Amino acid sequence: MQQTNYTFPKDFLWGTATSSHQVEGNNTNNNWYRWENTPGKILNGDKAGLACDWWGGRWQEDLERAAEAGQNAHRFSVEWSRIQPRVDQWDEDALEYYRQMIKGMHKLGLTPMLTLHHFTEPLWVEEQGSWQNEKTPQLFNDFVRRVVMALKDQVNLWITINEPFGYIANAYILKVFPPGEGSLKMAFSGLTNLVRAHALAYHTIHELQPEAKVGFANYYRSVQPAKPWFPLDRWENKFMDTSINRSFSNALVDGYVKILFWKTFVKEAIGTQDFIGLNYYSRDMVAFDLTKPQDLFRNTRPPEEALMSETGFIAHVPEAILDGLHWAHEFGLPIYVTENGVEDSQDVLRPRFLFENIHQIWKAVNSNWDIKGYFHWSQVDNFEWERGWSQRFGLWGLDLPTQKRIRRKSVDVYAAICKQNGIHAEDVQRFTPEIFNSIFPQ
């Protein structure tokens, strides 16, 4: 057996990622609780319910397992509706709970990366118009100030907003997220307000904690024209890449927020990222389609050669993650892979997904790109938004009625990577011999 190993820098962060609503349980004061209780909004009528019971304290056992498996970091979010349940009320007990959670991470040797907005906001924010309200960026900034003042001695890595364009598109265009109504024009105003919210938060965090590192987590979809020779396929592909992958991040470079015919300038957003957060999952082939005016005449399909996840949600094309890394590298800033994972209840695809994606990341690291860490989605199965409990992303499985954690083979796969700070030949041979020759060519 060839004994080549792919080793990462000694201070590389290896972790998993979660978000508050998806794991805490009993979040009953935010827009998603109302959405879940509206018939027809969630697949199979699922509800987050108790989720993974992190608010009941089970974060500790899940993170203990993460640390035992060699992880040295964890990305998580705080719930705005817990900390500010009403416009004129702050819950110091909730802040203290998060403080104790973060202290627990430090005791376990896990570097915390804290996300301030991950798809949820309090009901009172939604009732005031959510991101269509020009006052919401300042409301969010008030929340950010309160959180940072309370936790700045425990946290140095901050994500302002998770997947801003994806959040806006799902809410106002696809309408599968609350409020579930809108238009392209509303999507543009929502995205503009998220850019303003990020900029305010960035400046506030640095005012309170000058040494902090602040970024956002961008959902990057690898896209290619279905017929590269066809101009309309190339146009649709460029539009998809520009809107999904670049609209928010470009605004933090030149200040311009742009979607189709709409454009505005947000000066205070320029230069407001200290690192790039990359959420990467899948690739699409993009084609022009006259029969789909509701989708701006765009049709997408997975690459023919791709291995598909069990519900067809993710196309596994290992080299496609390099597209996202190329995008991130353009900014000349440190890079964190803030999410990467696959839904796989039977744990058939995930072991090779881990090895093959991380191998591609190593190629970029080996080219001296400044990649600082990798956060796998997720440590344990969690509530997957409009898809409910139909998709299982966890290294550990979850039996929801009993809250029992179910160990999957991928726990040991990722542990081997984390503990050895890279990919070792004997681990690939042990767990996924079918891909050994592709990762370690003879």
Residue-wise pLDDT tens digits, 77-122: 999 999 999 999 999 999 999 999 999 999 999 999 999 999 999 9
How large a percentage of the chain has pLDDT more than 70? 99
Nearest to 374 by CA among 433, 321, 297: 321
* Cβ atoms within 10 Å of 233's Cβ, excluding its own: 21
How many contiguous H segments (helices) and E segments (strands) does the chain have?
Answer: 16, 17
DSSP state of 34: H
Q: Which of 1-10, 129-138, 151-160 has the lowest mean pLDDT?
A: 1-10
Q: Are strands 404-407 and 422-424 parallel, antiparallel or unpaired?
A: unpaired
Residue-wise pLDDT tens digits, 378-432: 999 999 999 999 999 999 999 999 999 999 999 999 999 999 999 999 999 999 9
Residue pair 177/166 in contact (Cβ under 8 Å)? The answer is no
Position 1 scores a pLDDT of: 43
85 Cβ contact partners less than 8 Å away, ≥ 6 residues apart: 29, 91, 122
DSSP state of 54: I
Token pair 């989720």 in the structure block, residue:
51
Q: Report how far residue 208's alpha carbon sits from residue 198's, in angstroms, rounded to the nearest whole number.
A: 15
- Asked if residue 316 has pLDDT above 80, the reply is yes
Question: Strands (DSSP E) along 309-356, which ranges?
Answer: 315-316, 335-339
Nearest to 295 by CA among 258, 249, 243, 251: 243
Q: Report how far residue 319's alpha carbon sits from residue 359's, in angstroms, rounded to the nearest whole number.
A: 9
Residue pair 298/286 in contact (Cβ under 8 Å)? The answer is yes
Give 188's pLDDT tier (boundaries 50, 70, 90).
very high
Structural domain harbouring 198: 5-439
Please provide the size of the chain in residues.
Answer: 442
In whole angstroms, how far apart are CA 300 and each of 226, 282, 296? 8, 12, 12
157 three-class SS:
strand
Q: Report how far residue 7's alpha carbon sits from residue 424's, in angstroms, rounded to the nearest whole number.
A: 8
Q: What is the CATH number of the domain that holds 161?
A: 3.20.20.80
Question: Strands (DSSP E) along 247-309, which ranges?
Answer: 256-259, 262-265, 276-288, 298-301, 307-308
Residue-wise pLDDT tens digits, 286-311: 999 999 887 778 899 999 999 999 99
**DSSP assignment of 380-406:** B----GGGTTS----SEEEETTTTEEE
For residue 145, give both structure tokens.
Answer: 């100030």
Q: How many domains does the chain have?
A: 1
Position 383 scores a pLDDT of: 98
Residue pair 255/313 in contact (Cβ under 8 Å)? The answer is no
